[in-house]
Structure 1
Amino acid sequence: MNEARLGILLLSTTAPEQLSELAGRCEGFGFDEVWLAEDYFFYGGLSSAALVLAATERIRVGLGILSCVARHPAVTAMEISSLERSFPGRLMSGVGHGVPAWVRQMGLTPKSPMRALEEAVTGIRNVLTNTEPYTAEGEYFTFQDITLFHPPSTDVPLYLGVIGKKGCELAGRIADGNILSVLAPTEYVTWARELGQQGMKQAGRDGSFSVPTYVLTAVDEDRDVARAAVRESLAFYLDALGPTPLTGAIGINDAVAELSAGGYEALVEGMPEDWIDRLAISGTPEEVARRIEQYWAAGADSVILSPQPADEVGRQLELIAAEVLPRLTR
């Protein structure tokens, strides 16, 4: 089995002033990681990461994902370096395309999203690691004699946040891992990890490849209550995303397309029970613990729980810490 870590995603609907307290509770409960999501236009990703790092002592803090076009890569590198120097070894940063609708709102949609992403992540890594001024002229980003006055004191892990075959292979070529989105079943986790490892080999890179995986999660002594909470969240994401390689990994894209045509309510009412079993983690503490271990076994070195419903995150944290953590074997 790969390294087995357990994290909590603090959804972007969380008020910024609540992040420090919730992160402190996660650390106190014994979770390994806290993850944040820079969704536009909710809390700021880098500023929130700073809040969480300052409010905690040991827990690792993941940021997934920053849109590659929302900031110049050199500025992103500068921000990452500042946080890494202040809190060595605790920051994990993810970069991706960004949700297309939000990127369009800012007039930043690139003609070639994959090319823009590759330029951005390659630039971030070079600015973070080069001891000499970095110069490069790309299709989307220009770097002219850029050097960080305060370079990072340790290596900084950089992840992509992409889906699909090309994206997963690119993650292996240029990044240390790939942050997998909610709706990723265990079959997709295994597939994405293998593609990332193939990408590493293609690029002649050594080392391990990480696949932190977000999973919608609800735990309750009454399994029907937990499954109802996850069902509504699954319907929301399936309605927003439609058929993707995530759901394609278990052969349900045609059914997703058919149900999605009726909108959110049709998904809530018509979603087969099997989808809840395969696309989420829900049920009694024993069932939730067993499902977390299935994700670890599939290759998710870090399982990042997204507590549902979102307005009961405190209660979910307490239940998971008290009833699920003791049942895990790792």
Structure 2
Amino acid sequence: MTFSLRVNNDLDIPTLVDLARRAERHGFDQLWVSNDLFLRSAPVLLGVLAARTERIKLGVGIMNPYSMHVSEIAMMAATMREATGGRFLLGVAAGSAEFLGWAGIERPRPLSKTAEAVTVLRALLGAEEVGGELPAWFGPLSELRLPPGDPVPVYVGAMSPKMLQMAGRLADGVLPLLYPPEHFTTARAEVAKGAEEAGRSVEELDIPACFWVSTGDDDERARLAMAAKIAYYGPSFAPYLLSRAGLAVEDFAPITAVLERDGLDAAARLVDDRMLSLGITGGTADVVDRCRALRAAGATHLSFGPPLGPDLREAVEKLGSEVLPAIAL
């Protein structure tokens, strides 16, 4: 069983280093850091973590081929491979059109652009079989001089069926954001469909069940931490994902109105139990029960993502010392 932790790139360096060391001490296999625009640079953060950790694999989730050219992403990945002693994992995706728009960056052809990026990156970073067709502008490999090393695994951040299928055809791994976590079975089936089309086995790919979790010593505070995240992001979830939890976009209209009028804390208090089910919330027993169900559904990699809990250190300690040992039994 593989376990990973996902954190946002809004954390200051001392906090991030502390969380990484705790995660490594408790046996987490991977730590992924987001690279959202206008926050801290994930590659720089991971460079710091490379010097402060020894075993845990370090991933950036995600880079996009619009705000950085794919050749520069490859340079960064190859350098991180060297800096981490081969512990680096690269996550790529189309990125958020809204976030990119803040920087005046357009996002045309997200599916084909991401597929092209995955193909080029795997070719540049040492994959034995690339799978996709290299673009016409791609230069001869013999003339390229990236820092050498073992292949860097390339993961695709995906939610839609077509993006999941593309990841199955071309990538080394997939980072499917699951709302609710039980969407894993459907997401994995889409990845498997793409893998079959390419003559691959889905078992060759690392497919973490990526979900939000909020836990801690105070259940009510953990609930409110998750509720705040759902109040803010829930209305933007794809309708077909919300339907898995018996929800529709319209259900969030009263929450959005309160959010705009009274702020996030007030909006969070309107989030009901159905909405909370989009993530995993509660004490150790609650988290273990949902995780065991994912394992029974075929998940071999569980990835715990923000908010994690009202207190990040407390949450990582609880996940590492109580949840992981119980799931691994």
- Mapping of 1:140-289 within 5 angstroms? 142-146=137-141, 147-181=143-177, 184-206=179-201, 207-239=203-235, 241-256=236-251, 258-259=253-254, 262=257, 264=259, 268-276=268-276, 278-289=277-288
Q: Aligned-residue CA RMSD in angstroms?
A: 2.7
Q: Contact (CA 8 Å) 1:176, 1:210: kept in 2 or not? A: yes
Q: Which moved more, 1:51-60 or 1:10-19?
A: 10-19
Distance 1:19 1:226, change over 3 A: closer
Could you tell me which runs of 5 or more consecutive residues in structure 1 were left unpaired when the two chains were aligned.
none
1:28-87 Cα offsets, whole Å, 9 max, x none, are 222222110001111112222222222111111122111121211122112212222343
Q: Contact (CA 8 Å) 1:6, 1:33: kept in 2 or not? A: yes
- 2:20 pairs, out of 16, 20, 23, with 23
1:305 matched to 2:304: yes
TM-score norm. by structure 2 comes to 0.86
Q: Contact (CA 8 Å) 2:35, 2:61: kept in 1 or not? A: yes
Could you tell me which runs of 5 or more consecutive residues in structure 2 were left unpaired when the two chains were aligned.
none
Query: What amino acid is the match of 1:306?
Result: G
1:211-267 Cα offsets, whole Å, 9 max, x none, are 22332222234433322322222212214x244443233342254454465353685
Partner residue, 2:32: 35
Question: How far apart are the structure 2 equivalents of 1:221 and 1:137?
Answer: 52
Question: How far apart are the structure 2 equivalents of 1:304 and 1:231?
Answer: 19
Distance 1:173 1:272, change over 3 A: same
Distance 1:91 1:298, change over 3 A: farther
Q: What's the CA shift for 1:175? A: 0.8
Distance 1:89 1:299, change over 3 A: farther
Query: What amino acid is the match of 1:281?
Result: I
Partner residue, 1:324: 323
1:57 matched to 2:30: no
Q: Contact (CA 8 Å) 2:166, 2:191: kept in 1 or not? A: yes
3-state SS of 2:204 partner: coil
Query: What amino acid is the match of 1:93?
Result: L
Percent identity over the alignment? 27
Q: Which moved more, 1:190-199 or 1:215-224?
A: 215-224
Partner residue, 2:119: 122
Question: How far apart are the structure 2 equivalents of 1:83 and 1:242?
Answer: 32
Query: What amino acid is the match of 2:289?
Result: R
Query: What amino acid is the match of 1:87?
Result: T
- Mapping of 1:80-95 within 5 angstroms? 80-95=77-92
Q: How many residues align?
A: 318
